[in-house]
Chains A and B, each alone.
Chain A
Amino acid sequence: MSTTKELWVYAEQRDGKLAGVVRELLSQGQILAEKAGFTLAAVLPSANGAELCQELYNFGAKKVYTIDDPKLADYQNDYYSRAIAQLINEKKPEIVLYGATTIGRSLAPTVAVMVDAGLTADCTELDFDAETGNLLQTRPAFGGNIMATIICPDHRPQMSTVRSNVFKKTKISDNEAGEQIDYSVDLSGVPERMRRLESVHESDTNSIDLNAAQFIVSGGRGVGKPENFKIIYDFAAELGAAVGASRATVDAGWISHHHQVGQTGKTVCPVVYIACGISGAIQHLAGMQSSDMIIAINKDPDAPIFDVADFGLIGDLHEIVPEFRKQIAAFKA
């Protein structure tokens, strides 16, 4: 099998802005490419590719394939998948990594069947086995009860999606050199079968973005009732933390789903994650387990959250959290 020995990162953009996960994928991609002796490249379908290239070089891309086409201005599954599949079929990369975003989870599986490639979703670890040329793709399965390492020995490219905040991003410098390669695709034969009519952003203006937060304070059913979430918000404000939540509280309507952490919510990786009144169901752990430090507050000493905690505080969160806030305030003063 002849390939160009390249490792690609899909450079997802929306409204001309790169998705955060792209930088993380480039940083991890660089480690893998070095190990494998591949060239790290980014693929950027958009309408204004040139502007974003420098940022991609700064995070390790040696090459950027820009695909400028008016049909690629906004994400549309038919056009995007066709464009990426064409490029893959022509350049034959060894590995392609995508962010497991709403876009990546639509694009990557479509491309996988188009180019006859294997695809492993939501990888939490990626390694390269230089002996076999296999990408070792490790991911949780059965709601996080087990970990599985997946390989794709006979098909190329080997493709994975990765959720944001799984890998750390490291900028190399502000003026890395790289090569921009303009690539044109022929989308004339692709029928227009779907049209975006409207796009609405509902940002939660008074809260800090969970993805970017250094500290997260999360509340679970142990908070007791919707009004009590104030304890969590007040503590978070004191710490400069974002507010997270378990699905039980989201389902109960105590807090909006934007705050949900876990398998079906956001994956977060802050410096400190403080779980208050959260039992630690496997689906919740799936979204916060890789935090640098986990502090759990729970009145049940047998709660599974304590299995993943660095510090466990056994007791009533209604007493502990306000005390925590008080002492943090005193510490800051």
Chain B
Amino acid sequence: MNIVVCIKQVPDSDKVTIDRETNRLNRAGVPSIINPFDENALEMALQLKDEHGGKVTVISMGPPQAEQALRTALSHGADEAILISDRKFGGADTWATSYTISLAIKKLEDVDLILFGKQAIDGDTAQVGPGVAHFLDIPMLTYAKSVEVTSNTFKVNKVTEDGYEIWDIDKPAALTVVKEANQLRMPSLKKKMAAKKAEIPCWGFDELQPDEEKIGLAGSPTKVSKIFAPPVKLNKEILSGEPSDMITELIQKLKEQHVL
């Protein structure tokens, strides 16, 4: 079984801060990581491979340094990696990203399953998985927690707001994977060494031959018009001291404000 996992390299958002004067992200020194949800997609692929054999290919679109995320994925057990990178792809929103990634997947042979993280933590859009699936014209389910393989279909447990659903979906299929699915295995030392040396092909404009109007900034319907720091609360009151006094004071204030 051939499985493709799409992984995105993202800044570790726990460590991103904003410069309140310039409204720019302080990205210097912020480490890049594999989008946490993509780790779950990768582990799902590795487990399916353990059980049914086949090959796991990881794909990432991004600047040249995204190669690092791909090497990390190889050290965890992925078999092959492909980087999608070209200056012309820069500034892509989820629409243009979906289109570009779909062109790369079209070049691969006999893909049975394409896995995505539930969402990327930098943009939190959760749009690339459904987008790629549509460009490839294959069925797609979001929020997958587990998968079973049957002869021509996958049986998928999908999380909903208040429970779950079981779906039967034809091959080839696309799924976005939730965190509850699993936890990514540790990298092995041997694979780490191999990952360092692995050849990672880079596919750009010439390899993918995209429609020029559908890529990069120009191919992106959405544009960022403004970036600003989230507003802070001004009139806050901080109380300390004896619990009973604090609560008495608080309840008095809540009464004044007609909350109680």
Contact = CB atoms under 8 A, between A and B. Distances in A.
Interface string B217-260: 00011111111111011011111110110111011011001011
Contact of A311 (B138, B163, B179, B237): B237
A310 B251 CA distance: 13
B98 interface: yes
A216 B85 CA distance: 46
Given A109-B130, A110-B134, A146 B140 contact: no
A16 to B, nearest CB: 16
Interface stretch (B8-16, B46-54, B192-200): B8-16
Given A312-B238, A323-B244, A119 B160 contact: no
Contacts of B228: 146-149
Contact of A323 (B166, B220, B230, B243): B243
A323 B247 contact: yes
A132 B119 CA distance: 31
Interface stretch (A34-42, A150-158, A174-182): A150-158
Interface stretch (A49-57, A136-144, A224-232): A136-144
Interface in A200-216: 200-203
B251 A328 contact: yes
Contacts, number: 235
B243 A320 contact: yes
A333 to B, nearest CB: 13
B162 A203 contact: yes
A102 B18 contact: no
A238 interface: no
Interface string B112-153: 000000000111111111110111001111110000000000
A197 B166 contact: yes
Given A142-B25, A146-B18, A257-B180, A331 B260 contact: yes
B16 A145 contact: yes
Nearest to A282: B13
A147 B224 CA distance: 10
A315 B243 contact: yes
B246 A150 contact: no
A216 B39 CA distance: 32
B33 interface: no
B224 A149 contact: yes
A194 B168 contact: yes
B239 A102 contact: no
Contacts of A200: 163-166
Interface residues of A, number: 81
A199 interface: yes
Contact of B13 (A109, A142, A201, A328): A142
A117 interface: yes
Given A102-B159, A193-B169, A314-B238, A109 B223 contact: no
Interface stretch (A1-9, A25-33, A59-67, A301-309): A301-309
Contacts of B221: 112, 116-119, 152, 154-155
A278 B95 CA distance: 37
B141 A150 contact: no
Contacts of A147: 227-230
A196 B122 contact: no
A86 interface: no
A141 B122 contact: yes
A113 interface: yes
Contacts of A114: 134
Nearest to B171: A193
Interface of B: 11, 13-14, 16-18, 23, 25, 93-95, 98-99, 121-131, 133-135, 138-143, 155, 158-170, 173, 179-180, 220-230, 232-233, 235-241, 243-244, 246-248, 250-251, 253-254, 257, 259-260
Interface of A: 77-78, 81, 101-102, 105-106, 108-110, 112-114, 116-122, 134, 136, 140-155, 193-203, 257-258, 263-264, 271-272, 281-283, 289, 293-295, 301, 306-316, 319-320, 323-324, 327-328, 331
Given A118-B221, A199-B163, A258-B162, 5 more contacts: A102-B159, A150-B223, A282-B14, A306-B238, A308-B233
